[in-house]
Amino acid sequence: MKNKKPTKSDLIAVCGMNCGICMAYLREKNKCPGCRLFNKDKPVSIARCRIKNCKELKENNYMFCYFCKKYPCERIKHIDKRYRTKYNMSMIDNLGFIKKNGMVKFLKKEKQKWKCPSCGGTLSCHRSICYKCGFEKNK
């Protein structure tokens, strides 16, 4: 799996984060592979992620947090609140959309939502910039 090119659905984490719009994934230097394609040689933040390492998820081999009987747990609520406040996006909304409409529709919606109006690249949810052309959404 070392050189595997991720599929679009590989980039949707168990918590509902679209790793494809994360600044760590979009940047060129020290690029993160995304939560699902993590290996021990990659970013420490993924290795420490309490959601990715959740006992319930691992024991039951859940693809997404919404399968868990404890969903939404405090960890998901906490990260959701932070992302709603800082980045105008929601993991809980993402998971709800995937559950109701499926991955294909979710990926299509995300592609449109985070599409750079200048070059068609992808805007980072964290900085609202396009790492391809440098366009800044808020300027």
Counting beta carbons within 10 angstroms of the beta carbon of residue 115, is it exposed (0 to 12), middle (13 to 18) or buried (19 or more)? middle
Count of domains forming the chain:
1
Distance CA 50, CA 133 (A): 34
Tell me, yes or no, whether 135 lies in a domain.
no
Distance of CA 117 to the CA centre of its chain: 21
Per-residue pLDDT for the chain (139 aa), expressed as one digit of tens each? 344 445 688 899 999 999 999 999 999 888 888 888 766 665 566 667 888 889 998 899 999 999 999 999 999 999 999 999 999 999 999 999 999 999 999 999 999 999 999 999 999 999 999 999 999 987 5
Q: What is the pTM of this model?
A: 0.87
Tell me, yes or no, whether 131 lies in a domain.
no
Distance CA 125, CA 129 (A): 8
Tell me, yes or no, whether 126 lies in a domain.
no
Tell me, yes or no, whether 128 lies in a domain.
no
Residue 14 and residue 35 in contact, taking contact as beta carbons nearer than 8 Å: yes
Distance of CA 51 to the CA centre of its chain: 12
The greatest distance separating any two alpha carbons of the chain, rounded to the nearest whole angstrom, comes to 46
Distance CA 52, CA 44 (A): 12
Q: Which domain holds residue 84?
A: 9-113
Tell me, yes or no, whether 2 lies in a domain.
no
Instruction: State whether residue 6 is helix, strand or coil.
Output: coil
Q: What is the DSSP letter of 124?
A: -
